[in-house]
Chains A and B, each alone.
Chain A
Amino acid sequence: EPEVTQTPSHQVTQMGQEVILRCVPISNHLYFYWYRQILGQKVEFLVSFYNNEISEKSEIFDDQFSVERPDGSNFTLKIRSTKLEDSAMYFCASREIGVDYGYTFGSGTRLTVV
């Protein structure tokens, strides 16, 4: 079964450093998403991406964050100048077009900012 692949599975970074979280969506999917889940809290939407541009972003997704599709397969989330409160599990997801199609989630990247 097709999978969404996220790398790395766990990243530890120093506060103030930049991190790039990587995702390889399912090849025929056209919508891509990033979500995060702070430990013990609910999943939060960060950004959706379609047709090589952001289609919607939440208030969390400020200038510290950016997304890119550098080639035909990868979808990246960059977090600049990381803060302690950025520590969370970050999930990538992708889906086909059509309201009845569910998402396929990656297994997540656990980001720990120290």
Chain B
Amino acid sequence: KNEVEQSPQNLTAQEGEFITINCSYSVGISALHWLQQHPGGGIVSLFMLSSGKKKHGRLIATINIQEKHSSLHITASHPRDSAVYICAAGSPGNQFYFGTGTSLTVIP
């Protein structure tokens, strides 16, 4: 069973495009985590959010608790944004369930 589903699995975009990655979850959660994994394997935490919206630079994350859905948006995409973006849902201090990731490639 998949507690967390992401779409799309793979995404190719032209530099400058607006990108949206979606995440749906079935578990009850108190927080949702967006992560970025680079080709070398390292993981960076982008956002942890429990409601509403957060923005950091060109990245925006939103969550709708009632619909159990979150989106990650990238404005003015750049080749350096190419990475795997992972959604994880759960409760801080306890188990997070991870999605399989969205592989993003931004072409110059």
Which A positions have Cβ atoms within 8 angstroms of B? 31, 37, 41-45, 48, 50, 55-56, 58, 89, 91, 93, 95, 98-105, 107-108, 110
Contact = CB atoms under 8 A, between A and B. Distances in A.
Contacts of A108: 41-43
A99 B92 contact: yes
Chain B, interface residues (CB within 8 Å), range: 20 to 34
Interface of B: 30-31, 33, 35, 41-50, 86, 88, 90, 92-101
A102 B43 contact: no
Contacts of A48: 93-95
Please indicate which of the listed interface residues A100, A101, A107 has the most CB atoms of chain B within 10 Å of its own CB: A100
Given A104-B45, A108-B41, A58 B95 contact: yes
Nearest to B40: A107
B48 A101 contact: yes
Contacts of A56: 93-95
Contacts of B49: 100
Contacts of B30: 99
14 contacts: A42-B101, A45-B90, A45-B95, A45-B98, A48-B94, A55-B94, A56-B95, A58-B95, A93-B45, A95-B92, A99-B30, A99-B31, A100-B48, A103-B45
Interface of A is mostly: strand
Contact of A101 (B35, B88, B92, B96): B92
A107 B42 contact: yes
B100 A31 contact: no
A105 B93 contact: no
Nearest to B54: A100
A45 to B, nearest CB: 5
A43 B86 contact: yes
Contact of A99 (B44, B50, B99): B50
A93 B94 CA distance: 13
